[in-house]
Amino acid sequence: MGWSFKLHGGTAAGLSAFLLILAALTWLPGTLPLVDSAWLTVAVVLLLFPIFAAALLRVLLTRADRHSVWLAFRCLPGAVQGALGSLVVSGVVVLLVSMAGTGNLQSAEIRDGRYFVLDTTPYERGRIEVSQSQYVTVLESDQRSMLAIPSFLFAAAAYLALAAGELRRADAGPGT
């Protein structure tokens, strides 16, 4: 496998792990100022789309079907498979736990010193006023979701890039 595939997959996996760590830090008491900053969201978006699109393009250029991509992934070392698998599973768990924790409440905001969230309960949809503790709970849940989804996508990009590299190596023949 070429170094560019390793660099691409390693970068995507590293960013996935970084976002999962930030998501886990939101469970600590208090709000995390780093997660609430706008520059982090911009950085994630600016990195996610090119990295994911490039990984997808690399797989498409191999002209392999899903089964072949899976088999190529299975040819990677066990530690790499385990690391990527744990990133995906951790991202899904964080996302499911954060979605289950707040029920139908999301999009926390402060207006005029009062705390509001969006209630998405069927037939009750709308902004409602909540206590500060409920506001913090919804805010942290939103932050976890905002970090877990791109983390999952970065892990998928790492999977695609490394599998494409393995396919490319296999297509090149023996000795490469």
Domain boundaries, the chain: 3-172
Q: What is the pLDDT of residue 38?
A: 76
pTM assigned to the model: 0.83
Summarised one tens digit per residue, pLDDT across range 42-78 is: 888 999 999 999 999 999 998 988 999 999 899 889 9
Which residues, at least 6 apart from 81, have a Cβ–Cβ distance to it below 8 Å?
73, 74
Q: How far apart are CA 21 and CA 32, in angstroms?
A: 12
Mean pLDDT of 19-38: 77
With beta carbons less than 8 A apart as the criterion, state whether 35 and 26 touch.
Answer: yes
Q: How far apart are CA 115 and CA 37, in angstroms?
A: 19
